[in-house]
Amino acid sequence: MVGKQLAGRYKLLEMVGEGGMAQVYRGWDSLLNRAVAVKVLKEQMTGDSAFVKRFRREAQAAAGLSHPNIVSIYDVGEEQNVHFIVMEYLDGKNLKQYIREKGRLSATEAVSIAARIAEALVEAHAAGVIHRDIKPQNIIFLNNGQIKVADFGIAIAADGTTLTCADKIIGSVHYFSPEQARGSLAEKRSDLYSLGVILYEAVTGQVPFQGESPVSVAMKHVQEPVTVPSKLASDLPAPLERIILKAMQKDPGRRYLSAAEFLEDLRYFQREGNSRAFTTPLFGSDDDETRVMGPLPEIRAGQKQEEEDDRDGKESAKKKNRPLIVAIVFLSVALIVGLALFYYFFINVPEVEIPELRSLSYEDAVEILKEDGLVPNPEVFYVHDNAIPEGHIVKTVPFQGRTVRKNREIDLYVSKGPENVPAPNLYLRTEDEARIILEGLGLKVSWVREHNSDIPEGKVIKQLPQAEAMLSPNEEMVVYVSLGVKPILIAKLVGKHKNEAVAYLDQEGLRPLLRYEESEEPADTVIKQYPEAGEPVQKGQQVDLIISSGPPPEEEQAAGEDEEEPED
């Protein structure tokens, strides 16, 4: 698909991502001269006409969303059975990368990010659009600090049905709501559960449920209570914990009623440092709730009554207490064994130093990590790098040189090589406009100025390479700027005959203005000129020529001579 042009204007430059149902390309809109992201439905998905209809309907619904925290969708189309969505191109990192780099976020920063995501959900839900794949990978940090929620293009309308692919729910299992994991219809509060999971990961540095397979993770969302985040982040404020736990209730009816209510509680926490969420976390059905035993005085009163009724029945009381004793012993042994296993597997783990992998090939890096007892993350992060060759390691997270426990998962960032960009079309733009465009793209440039009789001064005449040619950051563009019409350096006309001088001026497009003066030079000879020889003039400019009318008449001269002649 790279190099293909869709709808006569969207050129696909490189693939930057791939999901279960679509591939995402960085593209160039030749009509508006801007970078775009183009999401193309996979070929195997286009055979289901009902699916394609839903895909187009839902993309068009998402295109109607307009909010500063939602990625804009510019166009939806189909060409030769290629179904595509054109979106705003984002230059930044996603929230998953940001959390991995920082380890975990402060409560203040996490709530600020969550509030902006909630604002986007309020807008979408009000328009009847459910995202259903809220995850950190879909939250983009732009270079100017703005946050955008992406991938509303695979969202579903609130009255639609869940999109599926080969009987598998499309989405990200670590951020699934329990109802999505069960295959039920996603609803607005499913997005709130996923946002709760993002908040959990942001403040603890890890997702709430992990497993050996997507199925096992999905089952944990449905069946297992979540570890309260304060056990992983002891400094977590209790009100924020309540917010997270309310959003992550397994029963949708116990979550926030709406994104607006969730947002209001986040803002209340920002203002007051408190929350209106439940003070006691509840999970699953009533059978899963924490049970409270009766007060000890009731038991003692029963024992006292029993002793009063039968003081000789001590043996009977011991028999009744025997199961309790057995249970206590069993729990004590289990606790000791559990502590021993915890110590062996989690505390008493050898530490290793993350090796230097920069510039190594991905395959070599994986091999070295395994030899050192570390686990390469199966999810590879691809980034552009001007120095590291494609397919080689740019960095690791945690960074090389850090000491970590064995079996720690290590993120590998692999180079995609230099980020090529299409040369913009600068023809007839002013020099200032061209400079702004080129600086925005980070391209090197050489400026050449030359005269041109057709292009006004200060505008671009041509460029090398031409528009839309792909440029690497190390390549240089040459931009030619017009100096306007080339000036004429006027020739020396003094001493030439009048007719010859006038013919020259006509040929050069100049306007002669003739004036006559008496002179000793022969008649019709140019004796003076303005501008003088060698000075620059423009076409249409006036040139003054002083022409000799010849010497004074002879009779006047003779009369003068006679007057001066002395008398004999």
Active-site amino acid positions: 133
**Dihedral sign, CA of 183, 380, 100, 22?**
negative
Q: Which of 132, 212, 187, 195 is nearest to 164 (CA)?
A: 132
Answer for the pair 35, 437: CB distance below 8 angstroms, yes or no: no
Q: Extract the tokens encoding 205.
A: 């540095």
Distance between first and last Cα of the chain = 116
CA angle 405–407–410, rounded 5-degree value = 90
The Cα 552–Cα 537 span in angstroms is: 34
Buried b (16+ CB within 10 A) or exposed e, 74-92: bbbeeeeebbbbbbbbbee
Q: Give the number of other CB atoms < 10 A from CB of residue 279.
A: 10
Burial class of residue 262 (count of CB atoms within 10 Å of its CB; 0-12, 13-18, 19+): buried
Answer for the pair 482, 515: CB distance below 8 angstroms, yes or no: no
The 3-state DSSP class for residue 462 equals strand
What residue has token string 């540095």?
Answer: 205
The Cα 159–Cα 129 span in angstroms is: 9
Task: Measure Cα distances from 493 to 58, 404, 486, 499 in Å.
Answer: 79, 89, 21, 11
Q: Which of 170, 163, 229 is nearest to 196 (CA)?
A: 229
Q: Give the number of other CB atoms < 10 A from CB of residue 248.
A: 26
Buried b (16+ CB within 10 A) or exposed e, 542-564: ebebbbbbeeeeeeeeeeeeeee
